[in-house]
Amino acid sequence: MSLFSSEVFTLATGRTERVVDITERCRRFLYDNDAYNGLLNVFVPHATMGVAVLETGAGSDDDLLAALGAILPKDDRWIHRHGSPGHGRDHVLPAFIAPHATLPVLDGGLELGTWQSVTIVDTNVDNPDRQVRLSYLG
């Protein structure tokens, strides 16, 4: 027998580039849905966001934003030109940081490494409110 549950929640990312840790929200979703062994999929239905598993709180999240700024400069080089200046690069972001991640759930817990967190990466300052879909299959 398999179990499937899914929910969408709104995440306020504000008007600055951000890496937002949603690990606890993922754990709460798994607990609320009696997840035991299976897979958690995190998906953002936006053309300008990504989902990343990385260390947070020790500077890695700021390092990621700095690296994205170096790889994808916020300037007028982009053909895609609507929105704030340099917004075209936000539409390229999902090619570097996918808009989804699938993670193992074992014995009711999210199977992450010691320093790993589930994060949303949002460089789009034009849209302060975002949607995140969590789906569990077990």
The CATH code of the domain that includes 40 is 2.60.120.460
Question: Domain of 123?
Answer: 4-137
Among 128, 129, 120, which Cα is nearest to 42's? 120
Share of the chain above pLDDT 70, in %: 99
Give the pLDDT of residue 81: 84
> Is the CB of residue 18 less than 8 Å from the CB of residue 62?
no
DSSP string for 85-106? TTGGGGGTHHHHS-SEEEEEEE
What's the pLDDT tens digit per position in 29-57?
999 999 999 999 999 999 999 999 999 98
Q: Tell me what the pLDDT averaged over the chain comes to.
A: 95
Give the pLDDT of residue 74: 92
The predicted model gives 56-84 an average pLDDT of 93
Q: How far is CA 117 from CA 12, 33, 79, 102, in A?
A: 18, 20, 34, 13
- In total, how many domains does the chain have? 1
